[in-house]
Structures are given as structure tokens and as C-alpha cells.
Amino acid sequence: MSIATASDFELAPPPPLVTPLLLAAVCVALADWLFYGWDVGISWPLFLGVFGVVAVAGNGVAAPRKTQLIMTAVFIAGLMAAIEQVDFLSIVVSTLATAMFVIALTARETSSWQRRLFEVATVPFRGPFRLAGDLFGALRHMKAWTPEWLGSLVAWIVPLGIFAVFLALFSSANPLIEHQLMRIDLRALFNLVSAPRVLLWLMVACVIWPLIRRRLPRKPARRPEPGAGVVAAEATDMDYLLGVQAVLRSLVLFNALFALQSGLDLVYLWGGAALPDGMGHAEYAHRGAYPLVATALLAAGFVLVAMRPGGPAEQSRWIRPLVLLWTGQNILLVISSIFRLDLYIAAFSLTYLRLAAFIWMGLVAAGLLLILIQIIKRRSLSWLVDANAATLALVLYGCCFLNAPWLVASYNVEHCREVGGSGPRLDMRYLESLGSAQTLPPVEAHMAQFPGVLPFSREYRTSPDRQYFSQPGNWRGWDFRRWRLERYFANTPAERLTSSDASKG
């Protein structure tokens, strides 16, 4: 005789998903009718009363008669508190009473009230994950209870969903695409649903789902004898969402959309074609610099999913060439983003964030190139991870030697309008906000064009408490960049700058 342990208990097969979904939809519709656009009062206990009865009826009563009577009294008492007055305390009491009523009446095993109270308290946090898990878990058994055409429709979820994400990113990056999308009149749809209303539906559905569809333990199941046979692996939840059909359709849609974006860039950005009235090339470039990098990152993630070992690429001869084509388009997209950022900096000057964006875009381009090499050379995923890690390490190491304040100041001075450049006027406030004396040498080299910089320069030079100019108290505080700066100030005293400025004036 063996004693069953806690690990021997298994969850009973969950009930079919259709009925719980219909019950949840009824409760969501009731919540919309009772709460949306109205003050909360008697509607709260009314909703809880209907929900409690629906949840118990959907899961079935399993508790003994005595428990049913006690928990029904608790349920009614909780509703009475909310009927008296709806405030924070009554909402908490009535909600706990309703949840305890559902859990106690549908439970098939005895349990302490502390454990049930803990289960009640965690319902709102488990709800979103349970709902998503049940929906995806249902896809595992679709072949057994769905017609073939419905499974084919599911394979459109990922292509159309990610296509919409890419389209939204391209819309924010390309005002031409945004202009065409804005011509579509969606007011009729927006009149029916609104963001707060949809948020209410999702919130209610997530909170009530763990009680609408309870997961109840069943009797211990015998463990299979060793060597009794190996059960064939079941299809995963991704078979429909990210199977061959979904990936193939996604790549066709994505290649077409990316080709449209690349074509617009070739015509308007690289070719210099005239943009619509009121839109300059600087604005066109700025709109796309950062969203296009986000698009490339999402694309890289999808490529890794599509080309995963044992994935769809090994089951279709069309997926591999489409992935190669799409990866090449993404590299072109990142190059276009770098060119956009260069145009924007030429029009609006260089900043820390824009310099970091250049470095980041270069890393993204290198990562896409490594993905392309991995696909062509059929390298392993570990090789790709190692190569990207080495690239990142080299870039970060190189940034240790990058004097960013000096570089930003040098670029902005050399391209500003005061010295005859094509950029904007020098933004001294921004250079001062950097808080680094490394910005002074490039500016002081053109002191005649920037007479207002002299007080700024003197403040840095004469301030005794600034670490840039005070000699380190010990040799351990020495560094080469500070030494170079000290040599500059020693060789270029403030008096020379003043006299030089006066003579030029």
C-alpha cells in the first residue's frame, strides 16, 4: 500500500473553453452596462451577485451541504455591506465574500481558510496569466475539435498582428505613410469602442477568469512503470501561431511592407525628391531615425524565431530565401536610419543622445549582419550569441576612449552658423549643461565668433573647487585625459584668449 504525496495529485482536465468564455463574456457585458459611464452604487452588489451565481453554476457545486449553507450566508452578508454603502471597505468585504463563496462551493478537496484566502487575494494577479495561458493552451488541441479552415485562420494571427506593429512604426517614422493612413476614416469604429471601455473589458475579464474557469485537482494518478513506453511529444502552442503557414505569410507581408519603406527612402531621402508642402527633409529624417531601429530589432527577433532549430524554415523551401531577403532589407533600413540621423544632426546639431544613437544603430546593423552570416553559413545559435557579445564588448571598450563632450563641442562648433557652417547657431546653454571642461578647447579656438563664452571660460578656469582644474592630491588621481586638458590650459592661458579676442575685434 502506497501513500499518495502532494506531487501525485494532478489537475483535472479543464472543461471546454467555449462555455467559460461565454460566461465571461456575459459578465463583461454586464459590467459594461452597469459601470461604464455611471456612478457605482447598487450596481456593485448586483454585479457581484450575478457573477457569484454564474461562476458557481459554470464550475459545478462540489462542497457538502453544510458548507453550502455557511458560504451562502457569507455571500449574502458581503453583498449586504455593499448595498448599505459602496466605499473602499465595503468593496473589499463584498469582493472577498464573493470570491470565497465561489472557491468554497466549487472546491473538491478540503482546505484551510488561510489557503483559500490566499487564493482569493492572488486572483487579480493570476488572472491575466491564466486567461492568456488557457487561450494558448486551447490551441494545442485545436486539431482534435476544430475544422481545418479555423486552424488556417489562426495562422494569420501572428502575420497580421506583427504587420500592424510594423505599420504603426513605419507610420511614426514616415510622414508619407502616416498621411495616407490618416485619410482612412475610423471614426465609425471609434464611436463604438473607446480605449477606456476596452480597458474596462480586459480588466474585468482578467479578474473574473480564475473564478469562472477553476482548475481543480483530481484523484492521484498512477505513475507509469519504467520502460512502459514513450509517449509521443504533443504539438506545442506555437504550432499554429508560429508554424510554417504563419511564418511564410509573415515574411511575404513583411517583405512587401519593408520594400515600400525602402522605396520611399530611396526616392525622398537618398534621391532628394520634393516632399509634400510644409515638410522638410530634416523633419522626414527625424521622424524615422529611432522608430526604424526599433523596427529592425523586432525584425531580428522574428528572424531568430523563424530560423530556430527544428522550426518552420526546415519545413519550407521558401522561408529561408525570404528570411535572407528580409534580413537584407533590415540592414538597408538601419543604414537609412543612420543617414536620417546624420541629416537631422546636420540641421539641429549633435547631442549626447544622438551620438549614442549612432553607436546603437551601428550595433544593430552589426547584429543583423551577423544574423545574415549565421543563416548563410548555417552557424549555431551559440555562435551568434558569442559573436554579438564580442561585438558589444569591443564597442563598449572603444567608448572608453571616446571623449564625448569634446566630440560634441567640436562638431557643433565646426558646423555652426557663426563660423560659416551649414548647421544652426551654437547652443552654448547645452554645452554648459554638459558640465565638462572638455567642451572649452573647441569653443575657445573660435573665441572671436563667440564673445559670450568668455565668462563661461573664466568661471571654469578660476573655480578652485572644480576637479577638472585642481591638481589631484595624490598621483593615484591622475588620468591621461585630465593631463591633456591641464596641458591645454597651461599652454593657452585666459589672458591670451582675451588679448587675441581684442585684437581680432
Evaluate if residue 408 carries a pLDDT over 90: yes
Task: Report the distance separating Cα 104 and Cα 113, nearest Å.
Answer: 9
Query: Which range, 3-17, 188-202, 400-414, is most confident?
Result: 400-414
127-134 average pLDDT score: 75
Evaluate if residue 178 carries a pLDDT over 60: yes
Query: Which range, 28-32, 300-304, 323-327, 488-492, is most confident?
Result: 28-32
458-479 average pLDDT score: 58
Helix (H) or strand (E) holding 354: helix 352-377
Instruction: Give the pLDDT confidence score for residue 350 in this predicted structure.
Output: 92
Instruction: Give the pLDDT confidence score for residue 8 in this predicted structure.
Output: 43
CA angle 409, 410, 415 (to 5 degrees): 100
412-436 average pLDDT score: 86
Instruction: Give the pLDDT confidence score for residue 453 in this predicted structure.
Output: 67
Q: How far is CA 103 from CA 54, 62, 211, in A?
A: 13, 10, 7
R_g of the chain computed on alpha carbons: 33
Instruction: Give the pLDDT confidence score for residue 139 in this predicted structure.
Output: 57
Evaluate if residue 128 carries a pLDDT over 90: no
Which has the higher per-residue pLDDT, 45 or 149? 45
Which has the higher per-residue pLDDT, 209 or 225? 209
Task: Report the distance separating Cα 237 and Cα 143, nearest Å.
Answer: 12
Report the percentage of the chain scoring pLDDT > 70.
68
- Find out whether 492 and 444 touch, Cβ atoms under 8 Å: yes
Q: If pLDDT is split at 50, 70 and 90, which confidence band does 2 have?
A: very low
Evaluate if residue 441 carries a pLDDT over 60: yes
Evaluate if residue 109 carries a pLDDT over 60: yes
Instruction: Give the pLDDT confidence score for residue 210 in this predicted structure.
Output: 83
Instruction: Give the pLDDT confidence score for residue 410 in this predicted structure.
Output: 92
Average pLDDT taken over every residue of the chain: 74
Q: What's at 386, amino acid-wise?
A: D
Task: Report the distance separating Cα 280 and Cα 265, nearest Å.
Answer: 14
Task: Report the distance separating Cα 177 and Cα 295, nearest Å.
Answer: 15
Evaluate if residue 84 carries a pLDDT over 50: yes
78-89 average pLDDT score: 83
Evaluate if residue 390 carries a pLDDT over 60: yes
Task: Report the distance separating Cα 62 and Cα 384, nearest Å.
Answer: 54
Q: If pLDDT is split at 50, 70 and 90, which confidence band does 288 have?
A: low
- pLDDT tens digit sequence for 369-379: 888 888 888 88
Instruction: Give the pLDDT confidence score for residue 409 in this predicted structure.
Output: 92
Helix (H) or strand (E) holding 303: helix 281-306
Q: Is the dihedral of CA 278, 282, 286, 288 positive or negative?
A: positive
453-477 average pLDDT score: 59
388-413 average pLDDT score: 90
User: Which of these, 241, 269, 434, 420, lies nearest to 338 by C-alpha position?
Assistant: 269
Q: If pLDDT is split at 50, 70 and 90, which confidence band does 230 have?
A: very low
Instruction: Give the pLDDT confidence score for residue 469 in this predicted structure.
Output: 44
Task: Report the distance separating Cα 163 and Cα 151, nearest Å.
Answer: 19
Which has the higher per-residue pLDDT, 448 or 82? 82
Evaluate if residue 460 carries a pLDDT over 80: no
296-301 average pLDDT score: 73
29-56 average pLDDT score: 87
Report the percentage of the chain scoring pLDDT > 90.
4
Lowest mean pLDDT among 111-120, 320-329, 330-339: 111-120
Count of other CB atoms within 10 angstroms of residue 99: 27
Q: If pLDDT is split at 50, 70 and 90, which confidence band does 176 have?
A: confident
Lowest mean pLDDT among 129-143, 159-173, 190-204: 129-143
Instruction: Give the pLDDT confidence score for residue 354 in this predicted structure.
Output: 86
Q: What's at 154, amino acid-wise?
A: V
Instruction: Give the pLDDT confidence score for residue 384 in this predicted structure.
Output: 84
Q: Is the pTM of this model over 0.75?
A: no
Evaluate if residue 20 carries a pLDDT over 80: yes
The length of the chain in residues reads 505
302-317 average pLDDT score: 69
Instruction: Give the pLDDT confidence score for residue 213 in this predicted structure.
Output: 81
Lowest mean pLDDT among 5-19, 38-52, 483-497: 5-19
User: Which of these, 132, 138, 126, 76, lies nearest to 101 by C-alpha position?
Assistant: 76
Q: Cell 540621423 maps to which residue?
A: 341
Evaluate if residue 200 carries a pLDDT over 90: no
Instruction: Give the pLDDT confidence score for residue 406 in this predicted structure.
Output: 92
Evaluate if residue 308 carries a pLDDT over 60: yes
Instruction: Give the pLDDT confidence score for residue 479 in this predicted structure.
Output: 75
